[in-house]
Amino acid sequence: MNQPIGERASRGSLTRRDMLWLIGVVSAPAVLPTLSGCAAHPVTGEKVLVGLSEQDEINIDRKQAPHQFSNDYGAVQDDSLNRYLGEMNGRIAARSHRPKMPYSCRALNANYVNAYTFPAGSIGITRGILLEMDNEAQLAGLLGHELGHVNARHSAQRVGQSMVAELVITGVSLAVAASDRGSDWAPIIALGGQIGASALLAAYSRDNEREADSLGMAYMAGVGYPASGMSELMGVLVRQSSEKPGLLDTMFSSHPMSEERLATMRREASGRYAATGSASVQRERYMDQTAGLRKLRPAIADQQTGEQAMARKRLPEAQQALTSALKAAPDDYTGLCLMAKCQIAQNRRAEAQAYLAQARRVYPTEGQAMQLSGINLLGQKRFAESQQELNRYAQALPGDPDTDFLLALTHEGLQNRQAAAQSYRRYLSAVPQGDAARHATNRLKSWGMVK
């Protein structure tokens, strides 16, 4: 970059590359937990090194979960489905080793196939994976597995292990940041929705997975589901991963799957838990609760095609699939956001704005369309409107330093150097390193506000 992005923004000459950089800048959450030493494993009672106290787990969860859920296009706007998931999860969690954690569960509007949990038990299940399952016992297996991660405190342990590695090297606390900024296309791939889970969610070890499986099976069988629901779920996922490669990449990278896991669960279901085999899998109830979602199946399939085409830089193909998705479901929030991203990637900012405006109308409280709209308006030199959207976003999803960075650019556009400097400083106090931090520091230097 030969000219500062703030200057280019104020002249309205942001290139497509700048836009991608801005979008890339806003997608790497950072966690700075405090060291809290050893704790007893809640399940085995053994001492394990954990980097997080229970209060840390709750704080990280509260801070990060809303942002990740928004990355996945927010909770589905189907209250009865969310209530159903919440109640079911609550029932299983009540039988877990940490029944007092603040558990919650919602279906997310994302299309990729995955489920994840934050360390205090905020669980998200994508509509993509809900469509792959066909009975409640499988869902119970999925929830049991996620609850297993919370109960065995896998996030806290992982932070503990990486902190030790980090302490050896630098003697300072851990910083988590993993994103590929090298490629012009990395942000668009992230936009495609396949990536997104923060580093804290990524990659449990195989041992963690085994432990979550076996805890999960005990929990779900304990509330009366046939234990085979868990192995059935794994079978479905393994089969789908060969039929629809790509869609399950995130699932398998955050929860490594193996034949061995599947075989173990099958053995346990027909061995130790054989008595649960006569219980109902509750297929009808699951089908009733997901009826609304299943009506969207054709649109979701088109969106999945569109997302994969975007990830492969095949924009006309993506456009075609997303057009077809919107024909089938014109008011689908995810479909509208994806189409807006596809327009941004093709440098069609006015078109993108129209889709974002529609997305804002169909889901006024969800943050992602506000954020994209703020960035896209910035790209069109509509600084005051951009600022308005970004302020709304900051209200809906507080605590995101990237918003300060973007607000600084809008202040620059409005020739308000003092306010811009303030926003850059706020950004730097949260994110002292990286491309955007360098940019912020250079701006402050060029104004003589820091040495």
**Binding site residues, Zn ion, CB under 5 A:** 212, 255
The residue number with the shortest CB distance to Zn ion is 255
Q: How far is the CB of 256 from Zn ion (least distance, A)?
A: 8
Pick 71 or 250: Cβ nearer Zn ion: 250
Q: How far apart are CA 308 and CA 297, in angstroms?
A: 16
CB of 391 to Zn ion, least distance (A): 37
Kindly state the smallest distance separating residue 145's Cβ from Zn ion, in Å: 6
Provide the minimum distance between the beta carbon of 217 and Zn ion in the complex, in angstroms, as a whole number. 13
CB of residue 128 vs Zn ion: minimum separation in angstroms?
16
Q: Which is nearer to Zn ion, 255 or 439 (CB)?
A: 255
- Rounded to a whole number of angstroms, the minimum distance from the CB of residue 261 to Zn ion is 10
Give the angle 356-430-4 at the CA atoms, nearest 5°. 65
Which of 377, 357, 299 lies closest to 109, judged by CA? 299
Residue 200: CB minimum distance to Zn ion, A: 13
Enumerate residues 6+ apart whose C-beta is below 8 A from 195: 189, 250
Nearer to Zn ion, 191 or 212 (CB): 212
Residue 209 CB, nearest approach to Zn ion (Å): 5
What b-and-e string marks burial along 392-422, b requiring 16 or more CB atoms within 10 Å of the CB?
A: bbbebbeebbbbbbbbbbbbbbeebeebbbe
User: In the complex with Zn ion, which residue's Cβ is closer, 255 or 392?
Assistant: 255
Nearer to Zn ion among residue 144 and residue 193 (C-beta):
144
Instruction: Return phi, psi of residue 39, to 5°.
Output: -145, 160
- Phi/psi at 391 (nearest 5 deg)? -65, -40
Which of 88/215 has CB closer to Zn ion? 215
Closest distance of CB 253 from Zn ion, Å: 11
Residue whose CB is less far from Zn ion, 67 or 255:
255
Q: In angstroms, give the least distance from the CB of 208 to Zn ion.
A: 7
Choose between 193 and 216: whose C-beta lies nearer to Zn ion: 216
Strand partners, 124: 106, 116
Q: Which is nearer to Zn ion, 197 or 409 (CB)?
A: 197
Q: What angle do CA 80, 126, 397 make, to 5 degrees?
A: 85
Question: Which strands form 115-117's sheet, in the order they lie side by side?
Answer: 104-108, 122-126, 115-117
Nearer residue to Zn ion within complex by CB, 139 or 428: 139
Asked whether 202 and 45 are in contact (CB, 8 A), the reply is: no
